[in-house]
Structure 1
Amino acid sequence: MSSVNIAIIGTGNMARTMAQTIRKVRHAKLYAVVSRDPERARAFAREFHARRFYGSVGEMVQDRKVQLVYIATPHTEHYQAAKICLLNGKNCLIEKPFTVNAEQAQELLSIAAGNHLLAAEAIWTRYMPFVQTMKQMLDSKLIGEPVQLSASLTYNIRQVPRLTDPALAGGALLDLGVYPLNFASMLFGDDVIRVNASCSYTENHLDEQDSISLIYRDGKVANLSASMVGVSDNRGEIIGTKGYMVIENINNYRSMSVYDARGKKIRFVKAPRQFNGYEYELQQVIEALESGQTECAAMPSSEILCMMHMLDFIRGEMGITYPFEKKERPAIPTQAQEERTEPEKEQEDEQSRAVADATEEAFLTHEAQKALENGAGDTAPGEDDPMNGQVISSPDEEIRVDPKEPADGDENP
């Protein structure tokens, strides 16, 4: 197979990380970079030896040599950039979160399916080979039947401006909460019958710290949390009927320790060495393109949609709506609400319940998956809008780390 020509939209930290990763992955070639600032695009292209640079997505998609586009812009720009790319025949790898809500995700995946294109989500922990190690340990029943899971991801990053900006879909959930949720999904599945979510708020009414509990049909429970104001060990723990297992760092797996019912460590597995951890998602995307697939097994389209509906429902529980969204979500009680008359309360509460029920039903029944069968959606691109030594042959291959390169993955969200 010849190399896949990749264009990167954005020139920030994640764009740089992917540019470094491309150098290490077989059949991957950095071909172009896009930034609303042409000079930044030029400098980025020069630094990472890209052949082309562009000042807008509209310009880039006219380049027939671009085969895959990696979108590393702020959350709120994912949808528009990806839509332009997909409508112009470009496969996409979109940074997490895939979009800011399920409605946008449905549209993008429908367009991709209708045009036989790949639209994948770059949530790196889904693609890491250590996921299979954890699943195999659960299947071995060494800890008995798994009954409960807990996971937390916390970083003191409140000073990052976009995290406190509603117009940029800020808050802890889309940046940090997605990791505990994906951790639970990978190990316990998605047959969730009840979701309870609450949070503390920033001054702009965004979630600052999240507390989420999931109840599964078979009785399992997952307790998840995220914070953008504190720090912790970011562990995950799975409790079973005969013991438990602890995962060090759910955002870049380091090791797994297994304990018996008396708390004695009976097994320890260290995660394999890696370049930076992002090589796995890129390798699987390239393998999918090589085999003519339009999704990755580690994070298929149905799972992307399921997770986006989950995020929508959780925001509804928290009473958080971004200013650019049309649909209203259930709001948290305020003093003004408490002063409503009884008829007003009943009417407004009924409306809130209807919104919550509709969102929950969509999530729990995966109605969004049907969009993949309904065709390509729009057929014409919108107006151009500017956006900002070693290889691996398979995700399971151990990667020797160049002493000049970092041994640990980028743990910044």
Structure 2
Amino acid sequence: MGVFRWGICSAGKISQDFCYAVHNLENHRIQAIAARSREDAQNLGSKVGAETIYEGYAPLANDPNVDIVYIGSINTAHFPLCKLFLEAKKHVLCEKPLGVNAKEVGQMIDLAKKSGVFFMEAIWSRFFPAYEKIRSLVSSGELGEVKCITGDFCIAASHVERLMNKSLAGGALIDIGIYLVQLVTMVFGPDPILVQGVGGLTETGVDETCSITLQYPGNKVASLLTSLTIHGNNEASIIGTKGRINLRDTFHAPSVIELVRGYPAPGLLEREVIEFPVPTTSHPTNFINSGGLGYQAEAIRIAVEEGKTEHPLVSWSESLAIHRIMDKLRHDVGYFHQDEETDKETS
């Protein structure tokens, strides 16, 4: 295929970080950037050598020099933008959450199947070397039988307007809680036998805090917490009968893991810290460890080159399963998106 040419849809903070990470990669190019403001697109494009700048998104869908489009827009724009680019038969990488609910995600997947293009939700965590190591340790039996996963992702961000705005699909679960859920589905699988959320809503109607319980066969459980009003440890642990993995601060984009062995004798615990340095970027990033976005980009380039339409680490079926879990959790705390409110009233 040669150089993999990216079209960037939106010039916000996460799109900036994605561009900075990809800019350093061999066989990748930021070909075009589109944003609602031409000035914003131009500012970002000048930093990463984009050849083409667009005001608005339709021209990007029609650009023959773009191989794949990365969508980094606000949550509520994901569905219409995915539709635009998939119908134009562009490969698409869309930021999480893929849709505001499972209904939207299912419709996107159907369209991707019809168009025959690569399509993936950007759960970038899955492509970090640390996550690859986690999968290896779990599958090899190093931890024994994994029985429990704990974690929290809590950020004091009630001042961020879009996170508090229901019309923009704000809320803790869909924006950051999804990282906890994807960790559990990666280890335990996409089909829990029980999904339970306990929490409450902000005055603006979005979920503020949610305590999450996911139960799986064999007495396997996950106990998780997400919130937009407190700052937590943002750590996770994967606990088995022979050992555990501790993911320190920034569990969703880790540069280090701690492997603990030695059960059942506490005095004989063996601790091993394994480091995975995250690549640097061409410019300072907005979010921690954003250099790791390059892992995802390279994995997708290889998948597209191999003719795949989905990636096994973030399959269509798993994205749909994750969003069904997310829907249940949000509904448990009283949060329904606008079209879900209508469905609820007419059912």
Q: Would the TM-score normalized by the shorter structure come out above 0.5?
A: yes
Matched, 1:306 2:321: yes
Matched, 1:189 2:189: yes
Query: What is the CA deviation profile of residues 233-281 of structure 1, one whole-angstrom value per residue up to 9, with x for unaligned ones?
Result: 2221223234433222322222123142233441414232121111111
SS in 1 for 2:222: strand
Q: Is the 8 A contact 2:10 2:72 kept in 1?
A: yes
* 1:262 alignment partner in structure 2: 265
* 1:252 alignment partner in structure 2: 253
What is the alpha-carbon distance in structure 2 between the residues aligned to residue 4 and residue 224 of structure 1?
Answer: 38
Deviation at 1:68, TM superposition (A): 0.5
Letter in structure 2 aligned against 1:211: S
Larger RCO (CA under 8 A, 6+ residues apart): 1
Q: Is the 8 A contact 2:243 2:259 kept in 1?
A: no
Q: Is the 8 A contact 2:157 2:228 kept in 1?
A: yes
SS in 2 for 1:92: strand
Q: Is the 8 A contact 2:214 2:221 kept in 1?
A: yes
What is the alpha-carbon distance in structure 2 between the residues aligned to residue 328 and residue 115 of structure 1?
Answer: 28
* 1:111 alignment partner in structure 2: 111
Query: What is the CA deviation profile of residues 348-384 of structure 1, one whole-angstrom value per residue up to 9, with x for unaligned ones?
Result: 9xx9xxx7xxxxxxxxxxxxxxxxxxxxxxxxxxxxx
Q: Is the 8 A contact 1:11 1:44 kept in 2?
A: yes
* 2:277 alignment partner in structure 1: 273
Structure 2 residue corresponding to 1:291, chosen from 303, 306, 313: 306
Deviation at 1:65, TM superposition (A): 1.1
Matched, 1:322 2:342: no
What is the alpha-carbon distance in structure 1 between the residues aligned to residue 252 and residue 292 of structure 2?
Answer: 10
Q: How does 1:82-161 map to 2 (within 5 A)?
A: 82-161=82-161
What is the alpha-carbon distance in structure 1 between the residues aligned to residue 70 and residue 194 of structure 2?
Answer: 35
Deviation at 1:83, TM superposition (A): 0.4
What is the alpha-carbon distance in structure 1 between the residues aligned to residue 41 and residue 242 of structure 2?
Answer: 55
Deviation at 1:185, TM superposition (A): 0.8
Letter in structure 2 aligned against 1:296: H
What is the alpha-carbon distance in structure 1 between the residues aligned to residue 101 and residue 13 of structure 2?
Answer: 24
What is the alpha-carbon distance in structure 1 between the residues aligned to residue 167 and residue 216 of structure 2?
Answer: 34
SS in 2 for 1:277: helix
SS in 2 for 1:321: coil
Aligned pair count reads 332
What is the alpha-carbon distance in structure 2 between the residues aligned to residue 139 and residue 160 of structure 1?
Answer: 39
Structure 2 unaligned residues grouped into runs of 5+ = 280-290
Highest Rg: 1 or 2? 1
Q: Is the 8 A contact 1:153 1:225 kept in 2?
A: yes
What is the alpha-carbon distance in structure 2 between the residues aligned to residue 96 and residue 148 of structure 1?
Answer: 25
Deviation at 1:324, TM superposition (A): 4.8
What is the alpha-carbon distance in structure 2 between the residues aligned to residue 21 and residue 73 of structure 1?
Answer: 17
Deviation at 1:325, TM superposition (A): 4.2
Letter in structure 2 aligned against 1:133: K
Moved more, 187-196 or 257-266: 257-266
* 2:283 alignment partner in structure 1: none
What is the alpha-carbon distance in structure 1 between the residues aligned to residue 70 and residue 328 of structure 2?
Answer: 27
* 2:47 alignment partner in structure 1: 47
Q: How does 1:324-343 map to 2 (within 5 A)?
A: 324-325=339-340, 327-329=342-344
Structure 1 unaligned residues grouped into runs of 5+ = 330-347, 356-413
Q: Is the 8 A contact 2:146 2:239 kept in 1?
A: yes
Deviation at 1:143, TM superposition (A): 3.6
* 2:32 alignment partner in structure 1: 32
Q: Is the 8 A contact 2:201 2:334 kept in 1?
A: no
Q: Work out the percentage of aligned pairs sharing the same amino acid.
A: 28
Q: Is the 8 A contact 1:245 1:256 kept in 2?
A: yes
CA RMSD of aligned residues (A): 1.8
Q: Is the 8 A contact 2:196 2:328 kept in 1?
A: no
TM-score of the superposed pair, with normalisation by structure 1: 0.77
SS in 1 for 2:193: strand
Displacement over 6 Å in runs of 4+? none
Query: What is the CA deviation profile of residues 303-354 of structure 1, one whole-angstrom value per residue up to 9, with x for unaligned ones?
Result: 111111111121222221123545445xxxxxxxxxxxxxxxxxx9xx9xxx
What is the alpha-carbon distance in structure 2 between the residues aligned to residue 132 and residue 24 of structure 1?
Answer: 22
What is the alpha-carbon distance in structure 2 between the residues aligned to residue 259 and residue 83 of structure 1?
Answer: 48
Q: Is the 8 A contact 2:100 2:337 kept in 1?
A: no
* 1:400 alignment partner in structure 2: none
* 1:410 alignment partner in structure 2: none
Deviation at 1:111, TM superposition (A): 1.1
SS in 1 for 2:270: strand
Moved more, 163-172 or 128-137: 128-137
TM-score of the superposed pair, with normalisation by structure 2: 0.91
Letter in structure 1 aligned against 2:316: S
Query: What is the CA deviation profile of residues 159-212 of structure 1, one whole-angstrom value per residue up to 9, with x for unaligned ones?
Result: 110011000001100111101101111111123111111112211121111111
* 1:381 alignment partner in structure 2: none
Deviation at 1:137, TM superposition (A): 2.1
* 2:282 alignment partner in structure 1: none
SS in 1 for 2:211: strand
Moved more, 130-139 or 70-79: 130-139
What is the alpha-carbon distance in structure 2 between the residues aligned to residue 259 and residue 155 of structure 1?
Answer: 31
What is the alpha-carbon distance in structure 1 between the residues aligned to residue 156 and residue 149 of structure 2?
Answer: 24
* 1:282 alignment partner in structure 2: 297
Q: Is the 8 A contact 1:257 1:268 kept in 2?
A: yes
Letter in structure 2 aligned against 1:128: F
What is the alpha-carbon distance in structure 2 between the residues aligned to residue 22 and residue 289 of structure 1?
Answer: 16
Q: Is the 8 A contact 1:57 1:85 kept in 2?
A: no
Query: What is the CA deviation profile of residues 140-169 of structure 1, one whole-angstrom value per residue up to 9, with x for unaligned ones?
Result: 434432211111111111111001100000
* Structure number with higher strand proportion: 2
